[in-house]
Amino acid sequence: MQAKEYALNLAQKAKKTVRTLTNLKTDIKNKTLLRTAELLLERKEEIIAENKKDLENAEKKGYSKALLDRLALDEKRIKQMVQVLKDVAALPDPVGEIVNMWTRPNGLKVGQMRVPLGVILIIYEARPNVTIEAASLCMKSSNAVILKGGSETINSNRILVDIIKQACRETCFPEDAVMFVDTTDRSVVNELLKLEGLIDVAIPRGGESLIRAVAENSKIPVIKHYKGVCNLYIDDEADMEKALNIAYNAKVQRPSVCNAIENLVVHRSIADRFLPEIAYYYGKAGVEMRCDEYSYNLLINHPKAKDTEIVPVKEEDYYEEFLDLIIAVKVVDSLDEAIDFIEKYGSHHSDAIVTENYTKGMKFIQEVDSAAVYINASTRFTDGNEFGLGAEMGISTDKIHARGPMALKELTIPKFIVFGDGQLRENIGIPKDEEIKINTESCNLK
């Protein structure tokens, strides 16, 4: 019952700011973001001290080095957060943009204007930088935000939110537009996810299990991506140098992220030339190759692959997001077979073809049903910044609202605005004579 009240109170406070936020001028929003940036530097000692508490708790609990690294804040990382705030302040304000406007035959002017979504609940793991990223994007797009970070970073997040709220007070930005779940009681999240009508959308960021738990428990619409099983297809008409570089970049440059590739799909006609070469470089980089029968037989005793770990693939490997220096290899006989493979095993995140053939490239772009589809480039570019959208709130692999990187624009939605000068449907107004005609046909949607 306490969790329920806590959640309700948070959401109600946030909701109350929605109208004020809608009216807030871009100037004030930018001022608040830039003042937050200043305060992060002014109060950096406090941030580092609070972060130290989180680090010590995490160490005591025996968390992994990777997790400790992720939650640590030092001067460099504080400066990165400062930069995010400056970047978001510099982005154009999407709120109030008239997407479209046209005049109907009866003179009615009908348009669509971007408005904020309302109250956004963001649920994330032990990454204090997300506190700043998510809050700044919501503030710039005039959304109220409820921040629920990983419990391992509660001290760091608390001080960051405190700093944001100080900036809000100093710049007349409604303080309650940034709410913080200041408890490690997990039931609060479940209570928040029930508050349809108060919270408009939930965005979980993190591992698949977190995201599934949110999606399954939520009464609120959720925008999400479960995992990034990205595929690279090397066509028989691929340029060999592009193929090698892209296969290398998309796997090796940063293997732990969702837009790195997990499956390498190769046309049989190019497999004998391409696979030993990439195996050589993958071997140097420590990439383990999980191979189907054809590629296994090709590579297992190949001199180029002598320093590469070559193991037989299991079918379940093709579904796996390794997030590691592992790649599953599949040899196919046609582009259609490659697309079928991607449709079956991929997660509709980012997929690429390497080919010099125009028709095959266009077919891949057209038919692969993923958030981002590439010709001749690394899938590692699927990112708000890399696409030129500015900072991102996450990546959606859903089919509604947004696909791919979600930036400021995706935190708004167009509503219809209609300017009239007295237009009446079917011109039925107050009767000039005494005969009144009413259409009483029952209907719900017209």
Which residues inside 42-71 make contact with a copy of itself, applying CB under 8 A? 66, 69-70
Quick count: other Cβ atoms within 10 Å of Cβ 50? Answer: 22
Helix (H) or strand (E) holding 16: helix 2-16
164 residue type, one letter = I
173 residue type, one letter = F
C-alpha span between 413 and 406 (Å, rounded): 12
Is 108 a binder of a copy of itself (CB under 8 A)?
Answer: yes
Which residues inside 214-243 make contact with a copy of itself, applying CB under 8 A? 216, 219, 221, 223, 239, 241-242
Q: Which of 275, 302, 301 is nearest to 289 (CA)?
A: 275
Is 380 a binder of a copy of itself (CB under 8 A)?
Answer: yes
State the DSSP code for 258: T
Which residues inside 188-217 make contact with a copy of itself, applying CB under 8 A? 200-201, 205-207, 216
CB of 155 vs a copy of itself, minimal distance in Å: 21
Q: Which of 9, 23, 80, 359 binds a copy of itself (CB under 8 A)?
A: 23
Is 151 a binder of a copy of itself (CB under 8 A)?
Answer: no
Binding mask 253-282 for a copy of itself (x = CB under 8 A): xxxxxx----------------------x-
Residue 425 has phi, psi (to 5 degrees) of: -65, 130
Q: Identify which range of 41-49, 147-155, 292-300, 391-399 contacts a copy of itself by CB under 8 A.
A: 391-399
For residue 5 the two structure tokens come to 């009240």
Q: Identify which range of 161-169, 290-298, 301-309, 366-374 contacts a copy of itself by CB under 8 A.
A: 366-374
Helix (H) or strand (E) holding 365: helix 358-367
Question: Smaller CB distance to a copy of itself: residue 3 or 413?
Answer: 413
CB of 236 vs a copy of itself, minimal distance in Å: 18
Q: Using only the alpha carbons of the chain, give its radius of gyration.
A: 26
C-alpha span between 361 and 353 (Å, rounded): 7
Q: Which of 3, 8, 72, 377 binds a copy of itself (CB under 8 A)?
A: 377
3-state secondary structure of 403: coil
Is 170 a binder of a copy of itself (CB under 8 A)?
Answer: no
Q: Identify which range of 76-84, 117-125, 148-156, 300-308 contacts a copy of itself by CB under 8 A.
A: 117-125
Positive or negative: CA dihedral 382, 388, 394, 399: negative
